[in-house]
Amino acid sequence: MLNQNYIDMCGQKSVIRELFAYGSERAKEIGYENVFDYSLGNPSVPVPETFTREMIRLLQDENPVALHGYSPSLGIDSVREDVATSLNIRFDMHYEKKDIFMVSGAAGAIAHAARAVTVPGDEILTFAPYFPEYQPYIAATGAVLKVVPADVSTFQINFDAFLDLLNEKVMAVLINTPNNPSGIVYSTGTIDKLAMILTEKEKEFGHPIYILSDEPYREIVFHDVDAPFVAAHYNHTLTCYSFSKSLSLPGERIGYIAVNPACEDSALLVDMFGQISRGIGHNCPPSIIQLAVAKTLYDTADLSVYEQNKNILYTELTKMGFDIVEPGGTFYMFPKALEEDAVAFSNQAKELDLLLVPSNSFGVTGHFRISYCIPTEKVERSIPAFQKLADRYLA
Amino acid sequence: MLNQNYIDMCGQKSVIRELFAYGSERAKEIGYENVFDYSLGNPSVPVPETFTREMIRLLQDENPVALHGYSPSLGIDSVREDVATSLNIRFDMHYEKKDIFMVSGAAGAIAHAARAVTVPGDEILTFAPYFPEYQPYIAATGAVLKVVPADVSTFQINFDAFLDLLNEKVMAVLINTPNNPSGIVYSTGTIDKLAMILTEKEKEFGHPIYILSDEPYREIVFHDVDAPFVAAHYNHTLTCYSFSKSLSLPGERIGYIAVNPACEDSALLVDMFGQISRGIGHNCPPSIIQLAVAKTLYDTADLSVYEQNKNILYTELTKMGFDIVEPGGTFYMFPKALEEDAVAFSNQAKELDLLLVPSNSFGVTGHFRISYCIPTEKVERSIPAFQKLADRYLA
């Protein structure tokens, strides 16, 4: 007898994947260059050369038995040490090796962090708009994910709605800043207010409330945007990091959890992650990739294209009459749709070969996501299609 | 409030890891060459050059955005296809791409396979002696692992004990052949008898009983040993493979699950694995490693050293009076200890700087495991220490 839960999940198609698949088919008909596919959040710029060079050096120079050997279950010691140092230098923190757990990307990080700080039945809160995969990520831990409705005027935190949902069963809040899908970066004011409320409620409830800070877009922050390092503002922070977007290597599955050393039991938490791995088949990120990213901790891919694309789209779409909260980072934008039904709006766009993801699966109605991690040249060529779309509603 | 389950697990030290840590400390005192460390199952021969060359070629020649991009959630299409073809050629099977799921090593494979075919409370049977990590692997799925006592005279399956435990709550049996820790390979007779019993019981119970066949040692089979491909003998077989041992790259986390296409719903099972991944933070093995192993599907590291080591140890230890079932593969051997208390025996050996793992955690008393994946030169130099150990009991 197969597990019906997973069979049922197979039936639930991802809107994003379906749009992407449609785009691939459509490209065969009218040419790849004529489909404006804003569906997927895949980095579009190459990995830094430092990474490639280090990979080749490792393969050519190192003893292969040692190079490809088992990683210790918490990650390779020198890599953990290097990650701690880089965070200390960049964010004025005090991490040590013991506080760092190497993990296979942000999905893996959340899988470990959520299991460590909850038991089945506990609650985790997240904030709309949110990455839809949080639902299956958390559901499988046995905890319950509840979604705080969005403040659609700013996409910062809707604190009134947050306080309505914050009860003693809440063991963690899962935040994502810079945010997928809004592109918004939580301000220092937002993070400090969140920290203050959580600190008060920890006292009231008599237990810690952790921030699980999902930060794959940390390095993609635009010019002059206030982008606080969350853990510097709240002790009970588990920073869930992925190198996927900063280094443009989402397929290589590499990231870490950094446990704020000001958090009591920080080393115990990291040890617990090692135990959690045993039950979910994790067993460390690939050794060679750990070693190579350790040489690129102060480097990123050339991320400037994303800000350039944002500027073009934000300027042009705003001119056309779209209502948009200006992104502070990432390669996403989350404008208001021109009709209430986001799916109907996305279908209108599809007729113009413009692939836009309707907002519903992100926990917000009446919006759409643009993933502008595509060449700037294509962004520019897509503007007339957006104009035609706007004309259908506003002309 | 942290999850107490995982805190409790932190307290349970691994005997193998502790022995290995002791060996590393002892090596600092008396020199690495003087510690005969038979504790860890780490491959000791280099990865084949075809792998290294292909990795470097990918890094030098391929478009980095495509190379390091997201893998589809079931694995890269061409790699799945190549794996299917290689199994068909080597084992006269009829796999297709749809039957193959790429996964981050055997631990990941079992994490997916066990979740697909059970719901919490179901039972999975395994056979002593068994790999101790099976306990946390299965416990985290919610299923219950029960251990069939060993047939210590052959380390084939103890069928009487198996029938005692086989009830309608059993949804799967987890086998490991060639076996860690015994080194034994299940014979065609054993596999056929197992298949016959399961087929009968499937009818009786009215549901499939899957074999989860954990095969990381499949390529390490000694001269003239009968080593059947399990899936060829039983339709409901999920083959859980890792390239760790055959290619000597345990740190790079790469393997697959092959679902026998004769199994009804084989494609559905693979789709379910993709859904299971979302909840356990898996998200595919690294893209570049998938692509590189696809070029080494007909190749292995030079595994001949393991048979050479086995021959020396089996011959010499048998001569000394040790009672050993001769291994047919792997790099393990599981002799009878010279006293009933395996831990006391292992401590005696430790005094001679001979690190042998006591059998208890493998589900058998009064034995010990030798992991002879060390240089042959060192195996030869360790023989006098084994002689001294034997003399303490038998002289």
| Per-residue tens of pLDDT for chain B, all 395 residues | 899 999 999 887 778 888 988 998 999 999 999 999 999 888 999 999 999 999 999 999 999 999 999 888 899 999 999 999 999 999 999 999 999 999 999 999 999 999 999 999 999 999 999 999 999 999 999 999 999 999 999 999 999 999 999 999 999 999 999 999 999 999 999 999 999 999 999 999 999 999 999 999 999 999 999 999 999 999 999 999 999 999 999 999 999 999 999 998 888 999 999 999 999 999 889 999 999 999 999 999 999 999 999 999 999 999 999 999 999 999 999 999 999 999 999 999 999 999 999 999 999 999 999 999 999 999 999 999 999 999 999 98
Give all domains of chain A, ordered by start, each with its CATH number: 4-47+302-394 (3.90.1150.10), 49-293 (3.40.640.10)
pLDDT at A13 over 80: no
Return the pLDDT at B168. Answer: 97
Rounded to two decimals, the ipTM of the complex is 0.95
Interface test with A, best of B271, B283, B289, B300 (most A CBs within 10 A): B283
Strands A170-175 and A144-148: unpaired
Phi, psi of B124 (to 5 degrees): -125, 135
Residue B23 to residue B353: CA distance in whole angstroms = 8
**Residue of chain A nearest B208, judged by CA positions:** A1
DSSP state of B258: E
Residue A140 to residue B279: CA distance in whole angstroms = 5
DSSP lists the bridge partners of residue A367 as: A336
Interface contact B364, partner A, CB < 8 A: no
pLDDT bracket for residue A267 (50, 70, 90): confident
Nearest alpha carbon to residue B103 among B232, B332, B274 = B274
Give residue A227's identity as a one-letter amino acid code: A
Return the pLDDT at A42. Answer: 87
A residues 258-287 lying closer than 8 A (beta carbon) to B: 265, 268-269, 271-272, 274-276, 278-287
Name every residue whose Cβ is closer than 8 Å to that of residue B9 and which is 6 or more positions away in sequence: A272, A275, A278, B136
| Chain B residues inside the 8 Å CB shell of A286 | 251-253, 285-286, 289
Interface contact B66, partner A, CB < 8 A: no
Distance from the Cα of B116 to chain A's closest Cα (Å) equals 5
* Low-confidence winner among A263-277, A378-392, B377-391 (lowest mean pLDDT): A263-277
A278: nearest CB among B45, B63, B136 = B136
**Residue of chain B nearest A253, judged by CA positions:** B286
Return the pLDDT at B42. Answer: 87
Secondary structure element (H or E) that encloses residue B103, with its range = strand B100-103
Tokens of A355: 């692939």
CB B344 within 8 A of CB B356: no
Q: Which SS3 state, helix, strand or coil, does residue A24 take? A: helix
Residue B137 to residue B110: CA distance in whole angstroms = 7
Distance from the Cα of A185 to chain B's closest Cα (Å) equals 25
A183: left (phi over 0), alpha (psi -120 to 50) or beta: left
Distance from the Cα of B141 to chain A's closest Cα (Å) equals 7
Distance from the Cα of B249 to chain A's closest Cα (Å) equals 5
Name every residue whose Cβ is closer than 8 Å to that of residue A204 and which is 6 or more positions away in sequence: A168
CB A104 within 8 A of CB A254: yes
B251: nearest CB among A71, A118, A274 = A71
What sign for the dihedral angle of Cα A55, A60, A63, A64?
positive
Name every residue whose Cβ is closer than 8 Å to that of residue B107 and which is 6 or more positions away in sequence: A278, A281, A282, A283, B133, B137
Please judge whether A116 and B3 are an interchain contact, meaning their C-beta atoms are less than 8 angstroms apart.
Answer: yes
| Chain A residues inside the 8 Å CB shell of B108 | 281-283
Interface contact A172, partner B, CB < 8 A: no
Please judge whether A108 and B6 are an interchain contact, meaning their C-beta atoms are less than 8 angstroms apart.
Answer: no
B283: nearest CB among A7, A105, A115 = A105
B278: nearest CB among A65, A136, A274 = A136
Please give the average per-residue pLDDT across A256-262, as a whole number.
97
Alpha helices in A62-157 (DSSP H): 64-67, 77-91, 105-117, 134-139
Residue B395 to residue B391: CA distance in whole angstroms = 4
Please give the average per-residue pLDDT across A135-153, as a whole number.
97
Under 8 Å CB pairs connecting chains A and B tally to 230
Residue A140 to residue B141: CA distance in whole angstroms = 10
Distance from the Cα of A125 to chain B's closest Cα (Å) equals 16
Tokens of B143: 């299923």
pLDDT bracket for residue A283 (50, 70, 90): confident
At A67-96, the pLDDT tens digits run: 999 888 899 999 999 999 999 999 999 999
Return the pLDDT at A12. Answer: 79
**What is Dmax (Cα atoms) for chain B?**
67
Interface contact A21, partner B, CB < 8 A: no
Helix B266-280 to helix B105-117 angle (10° resolution) is 110
Tokens of B309: 């080591």
A residues 206-225 lying closer than 8 A (beta carbon) to B: 207-208
Residue B164 to residue B178: CA distance in whole angstroms = 24
Return the pLDDT at A379. Answer: 97
Total-model pTM: 0.96
**Residue of chain A nearest B76, judged by CA positions:** A251
Interface test with B, best of A42, A71, A102, A275 (most B CBs within 10 A): A275
Please judge whether B251 and A42 are an interchain contact, meaning their C-beta atoms are less than 8 angstroms apart.
Answer: no
Task: Centre a 10 Å sphere on the Cβ of residue A113 and count the other Cβ atoms it contains.
Answer: 31
| Chain B residues inside the 8 Å CB shell of A39 | none
Secondary structure element (H or E) that encloses residue B240, with its range = strand B237-242
CB B102 within 8 A of CB B256: yes
| Chain B residues inside the 8 Å CB shell of A9 | 272, 275, 278
Radius of gyration (C-alpha) of chain B in whole angstroms: 21
Phi, psi of A125 (to 5 degrees): -100, 140
How many helices and strands in chain A, by DSSP H and E?
A: 14, 12
Radius of gyration (C-alpha) of chain A in whole angstroms: 21
Residue A189 to residue A37: CA distance in whole angstroms = 35
A residues 134-153 lying closer than 8 A (beta carbon) to B: 136-137, 139-141
Tokens of B315: 């011959």
Report the mean per-residue pLDDT for chain A. Answer: 96
Strands B255-259 and B237-242: antiparallel
| Chain A residues inside the 8 Å CB shell of B111 | 279-281
A67: left (phi over 0), alpha (psi -120 to 50) or beta: alpha
Residue-wise over B333-353: b if at least 16 C-beta within 10 A, else e?
A: bbbbbbeeebeebbebbeebb
Return the pLDDT at A237. Answer: 98
Residue A140 to residue A142: CA distance in whole angstroms = 5
Please judge whether B6 and A115 are an interchain contact, meaning their C-beta atoms are less than 8 angstroms apart.
Answer: yes
Nearest alpha carbon to residue A124 among A109, A142, A108, A145 = A145
B residues 173-202 lying closer than 8 A (beta carbon) to A: none
Interface contact A317, partner B, CB < 8 A: no
Return the pLDDT at A176. Answer: 98
Distance from the Cα of B154 to chain A's closest Cα (Å) equals 30
**Residue of chain B nearest A14, judged by CA positions:** B275
Interface contact A326, partner B, CB < 8 A: no
pLDDT bracket for residue A58 (50, 70, 90): very high
